[in-house]
Amino acid sequence: MLRMKSIHKRFPGVHALKGVDFDLNSGECVALLGENGAGKSTIIKVLGGAIQPEEGIIQIDGKERRFSEPLESLEAGIAIIYQEFNLVPSLSAAENIFLGIEPSDFGWVREAEQNRRAMETFQRIGAEIQPATSCEKLTVAQKQLVEISKALVRDAKILVMDEPSAALTEKEVNQLYRVVEDLKRKGIGIIYVSHRLEEVQRLADRAVVMRDGERVAELTRKTMSKGKIIELMVGRSMASEFPVHIRKVGKVRLRAKKLKCGQRVKGVSLEIRAGEILALTGLVGAGRTETARLLFGADSLEEGEVELDGRKLDLCNPRKAIRSGICLLSEDRKEQGLILGLSVQENFGLPNLDRFSRSGWVNHKGERESFHGFVDKLQIKISNSSQLASQLSGGNQQKIVLAKWLERNAEILIFDEPTRGIDVGAKFEIYQWINQLADQGKGILMISSELPEVLGMSDRILVMKDGKVVGDVQNGSGTTQEKLMEMAIGEKISIS
């Protein structure tokens, strides 16, 4: 029914999809698997018309289609349910379902019919929702069912679900499984993206595994063992991808005790030693980034305390944290690391203006000289220092961020996904810098979902799951990706 052929998509600095093939038959559920950054969400976005591939063809029922915007894809019968729902909170369930296709006479909505048809759809999938309830009063599971109903009302033939079970309770998940199986029987093709391997085994007829923007394997129901899947997801040679290094680990520099904040961080304690690279890994949503933000003062602590070199820190905002010598290279460079509309030099100077100014007046010359020093040292490719940060590739942007914190001479550096969206060459350079900083006796915390990176770089590895640290391993010969994945997923797996 659906066939995607050699889809290519490039973003600045990264080749996100390298000729991916994908097909789907009606009444079939295909799981799409892969690590974070493997290209799953990119391919979903291509399918949904949110982004356009440079090469490749999409066929639906044998006809070639091209989606330049989401609406066109919807009209072609593809419905996508993202993790963040696309519902208008203030409208009722029925109104949301029929948004844009209301049954109406000359602009007057036939409300009774709308509610009746919504009710019918709900019954079809066994949902117990009153059509007139406003969406903000629904639970997450109910909202998901409204999204599914929305797709059904629009006669969707292909339903894409991105991590549908992530925020559901056990009972709700079981209902979701029933709905999915029901939809399959009705001839709807389902693409199911998930990290939970057990539900993949239960629901999927086939599983497509992606890695680094490529489709690496397709498993059938019979060959679909957890061990096999994990092996395929992470399987990558680590040779020469990381600089070789021997480190000397010193005394404890940063000590965090029982950090707590909301549902995402539930009592995390950790120690970062001088000269050590501590890796923090786990699945998306495990609370890694949230922990880093707490250490940096970006979110306020509910409980817990942080000490640097035995001194207790007051981390009420990032400004204080920066002053005390902690810095964060956030995972989202474009939204949090850089101000894209400012020049590279201004971005570089922003946290360092106290050094480049005297009683409020900026010393442009000093700033420029220092900036050019880092441009040479880090080999940042810019045309001039007033170039806008938005015009750089991912790797160079990351180097600008790195430069601004190097100038700061911070004691603790937190790298959140330091190499996401960066090409291989720049990756290696950034690894070298991380190593060099560790050698200078700084404390390094590196958050990464890429297990090879974790194993290749770190001295010690913390694994997080559901806001807690579930594993603390010294990185040695016995540590494998499979072992880390087991801890992150939280189930025992036997490697076949």
Tokens of 336: 């949090």
Which residues are bridge partners to 265 per DSSP?
261
351 binds other proteins (CB under 8 A): yes
- 206 touches 30 (CB < 8 A): yes
Nearest-approach distance from CB 337 to other proteins, in angstroms: 6
346 binds other proteins (CB under 8 A): yes
Nearest-approach distance from CB 352 to other proteins, in angstroms: 9
370 Cβ neighbours under 8 A, 6+ residues apart: 352, 356, 407
Report the distance separating Cα 433 and Cα 168, nearest Å.
Answer: 41
Nearest-approach distance from CB 324 to other proteins, in angstroms: 11
Q: What are the b/e assignments for 45-82, b being 16+ CB within 10 Å?
A: bbbbbbbebeebebebeeeebebeeeeebbebbbbbbb
Give the pairing type, strands 252-261 and 78-81. unpaired
340 binds other proteins (CB under 8 A): yes
495 binds other proteins (CB under 8 A): no
Q: Which is nearer to other proteins, 167 or 339 (CB)?
A: 339
Residue position matching structure tokens 């106290």? 354
Segment interacting with other proteins, rule: CB under 8 A, options 203-211, 244-252, 336-344, 475-483: 336-344
Report the distance separating Cα 255 and Cα 250, nearest Å.
Answer: 14
DSSP states of 264-288: TEEEEEEEEETT-EEEEEESTTSSH
341 binds other proteins (CB under 8 A): yes
CA torsion angle 326 422 489 243 (round to 10)? -80
Segment interacting with other proteins, rule: CB under 8 A, options 46-54, 223-231, 347-355, 371-379: 347-355
Q: Residue 131, Cβ neighbours under 10 Å: how many? A: 23
Member of 31, 322, 344, 446 binding other proteins (CB under 8 A): 322
Q: Which is nearer to other proteins, 75 or 335 (CB)?
A: 335
Q: Which is nearer to other proteins, 127 or 322 (CB)?
A: 322
Q: Residue 387, Cβ neighbours under 10 Å: how many? A: 15
Member of 353, 369, 432, 491 binding other proteins (CB under 8 A): 353
Nearest-approach distance from CB 358 to other proteins, in angstroms: 10
Segment interacting with other proteins, rule: CB under 8 A, options 59-67, 135-143, 199-207, 352-360: 352-360
Member of 350, 424, 436, 480 binding other proteins (CB under 8 A): 350
Q: Which is nearer to other proteins, 36 or 336 (CB)?
A: 336
Q: Could you say which residues in the range 285-304 bind other proteins, by CB under 8 A?
A: 296, 298
Number of residues near other proteins (by CB under 8 A)? 30
361 binds other proteins (CB under 8 A): yes
314 binds other proteins (CB under 8 A): no
Nearest-approach distance from CB 339 to other proteins, in angstroms: 4
Nearest-approach distance from CB 318 to other proteins, in angstroms: 5
Give the pairing type, strands 252-261 and 265-273. antiparallel
456 binds other proteins (CB under 8 A): no
316 binds other proteins (CB under 8 A): no
3-state secondary structure of 180: helix
Give the pairing type, strands 158-162 and 78-81. parallel
Q: Which is nearer to other proteins, 252 or 342 (CB)?
A: 342
57 binds other proteins (CB under 8 A): no
* Dihedral-angle region of residue 77 (phi above 0 means left; psi in -120 to 50 means alpha; beta otherwise): left
Cα 227 vs. chain centroid, distance in angstroms? 23
Q: Which is nearer to other proteins, 59 or 357 (CB)?
A: 357
- 39 touches 212 (CB < 8 A): yes
Q: Could you say which residues in the range 374-433 bind other proteins, by CB under 8 A?
A: 404
Member of 77, 164, 282, 349 binding other proteins (CB under 8 A): 349
Member of 323, 368, 372, 468 binding other proteins (CB under 8 A): 323
DSSP 449: S
Nearest-approach distance from CB 70 to other proteins, in angstroms: 14
- The sign one gets for the Cα dihedral 354, 360, 366, 372 is positive
DSSP states of 385-408: TTSBGGGS-HHHHHHHHHHHHHHH
Q: Which is nearer to other proteins, 327 or 457 (CB)?
A: 327
Contact positions toward other proteins, by CB under 8 A? 296, 298, 317-319, 322-323, 328, 330, 335-342, 346-347, 349-351, 353-354, 357, 360-362, 364, 404
